[in-house]
Amino acid sequence: MKLEIKVPAVGESITEAVIGSWTKKSGEFVKMNEVILLIDTDKASVEVIAEKDGVLTIGAQAGDTVKIGATVGSIDTDGKPTASAAAPTQAAAPTAPAAGATSGGGKATHPELQAHQSPAVQRVVNERGLDTSTVQGTGLGGRLTKGDVLNAPTSAPAAPAPTAKAPAAPTVVPVPRGPSKQGDIQRVKMTNIRKKIAEKLVAAQHNAAILTTFNEIDMTNVIDIRNKYKDKFKEKYGVNLGFNGFFVKASIEALKTLPAVNASIVGDEIEYHNYFNIGIAVSTERGLMVPNIKDADNLSVAGVELAIRDLAGKGRDGKISIDDLSGGTFSITNGGVFGSLLSTPILNAPQSAILGLHKIQERPMAINGKVEIRQMMYVALSYDHRIIDGKEAVTFLVKIKECVENPERLLLEI
């Protein structure tokens, strides 16, 4: 009996995917529930498992674009592994070196090029009295370069000793120089996820009127709270007390005040969301992903920190699901962890706004007529000007600033 392997449905808006890689070869025996195929979509990788034990037959190769529901292979539950699949691949016989190539990894030489010397090389040869037959050329076809003759040991007789009236001229020692790396490039094919990320970012720039407004936040009070309670917090909840929890809670309070920032444009309508799914940008080896904390308004600061830890771990392990990446209403990205002082984040479409956090720095600030050193952070809000006015954007950041600078307001939700 043969079971068809089909591309699974991975989201309402996704109609096609790319074959990432097969973990088995055609003719190999696979076991039930064993991962046999990775499929890449524009959001994440999806694992396909074997439904039964049997022999695998592959019908679509890695890199092929396939429709959702398409058959890409089969499993023969009555089959046996083929001899060709089980046989080890023989090592290829070593090939003889190409004609004209030198042994030991050297460059191919051409006598006509070796004999020709540039004026600069000829001048150094004459000045140093070099025997060019003893100098190895590193230029094209074994041609001598100026560096070759400058670094070559000289066989010329020593200059006569200077008289008492004429001091000896200083010896010029050439600085050793390694081989040139001009033209040393490498091209690597973009992964499907990287291409889709690029397409989404370009589309966001083309389809929205993106504008960015800035403010600065005094982080001193939050840092004091963190330093005071971080050990007890870690002991109770098993997660570090960071700053993202405060900003997620502050964002929710600001979104409640300014619902347009939590909305999006659908056709010629504005879709207002009465829930708060906060996306947290996570940097992974596969690229930037923005999984969402669903119903974040129902979580405490500890709950938010736990959710961020879990999403970050899934991102590193390549386990972020389509559901994790879907349904976001507002996003936060923290470039400060990499040392960024200021940036203009790009919208995570179809969302209408994204909050950018940055590096915390000590700066002199005027406080009640006196100069004090405070822990300051620049924050940025990129927004779609089609739906959010400048006044709303500025007011949103002011609300964030008020909540973070006065953390007790987050507890009282005022």
Q: With 0-12 CB in 10 A as exposed, 13-18 as middle and 19+ as buried, what is 172?
A: exposed
- pLDDT at res. 88: 42
Model confidence at 29: pLDDT above 60:
yes
172 falls within a domain: no
Contact by Cβ (8 Å): 36, 50: yes
Looking at 32, 60, 82, which one is the last position of a domain? 82
Going by their DSSP bridges, the two strands 353-367 and 330-334 should be labelled as: parallel
- pLDDT at res. 12: 55
Model confidence at 252: pLDDT above 70:
yes
Model confidence at 196: pLDDT above 80:
no
Assess whether 78 carries a catalytic annotation: no
Q: How many domains is the chain partitioned into structurally?
A: 2
135 falls within a domain: no
User: pLDDT for 94-145, tens place per residue?
Assistant: 444 444 444 444 444 545 445 556 556 676 777 777 777 777 776 645 667 7
Question: Where does the pLDDT of residue 43 fall: very low under 50, low under 70, confident under 90, or very high at 90 and above?
Answer: low
343 falls within a domain: yes
Question: Which strands make up the sheet holding 292-293, listed edge to edge?
Answer: 210-218, 370-384, 353-367, 330-334, 278-280, 292-293
- Shared-domain flag, residues 199 and 329: yes
142 falls within a domain: no
Tell me, what CATH number does 41's domain have?
2.40.50.100
Report how far residue 393's alpha carbon sits from residue 213's, in angstroms, rounded to the nearest whole number: 7
- 234 versus 63: which is more confidently predicted? 234
- Shared-domain flag, residues 57 and 197: no
Looking at 67, 82, 97, which one is the last position of a domain? 82
Q: What is the mean pLDDT of residues 358-382?
A: 95
Task: List the structure tokens of 108.
Answer: 């191919």
**Amino acid at site 183:** G
Assess whether 53 carries a catalytic annotation: no
Contact by Cβ (8 Å): 23, 15: no
Looking at 82, 101, 125, which one is the last position of a domain? 82
- Shared-domain flag, residues 66 and 196: no
Whole-model pTM: value is 0.64
180 falls within a domain: no
Tell me, what CATH number does 389's domain have?
3.30.559.10
- pLDDT at res. 135: 77
168 falls within a domain: no
- 410 versus 11: which is more confidently predicted? 410
Question: Where does the pLDDT of residue 86 fall: very low under 50, low under 70, confident under 90, or very high at 90 and above?
Answer: very low
Question: Among 70-74, 137-141, 273-277, which stretch is predicted with the lowest mean pLDDT?
Answer: 137-141
Q: Within 10 A of 78 (CB to CB), how many other CB atoms are there?
A: 8
What phi and psi, each to the nearest 5 degrees, are found at residue 11?
A: 160, 150
- Shared-domain flag, residues 282 and 407: yes
Model confidence at 83: pLDDT above 70:
no
Residue of 76, 297, 310, 389 marked catalytic: 389
In the chain, what percentage of residues exceed pLDDT 70? 81
- pLDDT at res. 113: 45
For residue 288, the cross-strand partners are 283
196 falls within a domain: yes
238 falls within a domain: yes
Range of the domain at 14: 2-82
- pLDDT at res. 315: 82
Helix, strand, coil percentages (3-state) for the chain, rounded to 5, are 30, 25, 45
Question: Where does the pLDDT of residue 168 fall: very low under 50, low under 70, confident under 90, or very high at 90 and above?
Answer: low
- pLDDT at res. 132: 74
- Shared-domain flag, residues 238 and 380: yes
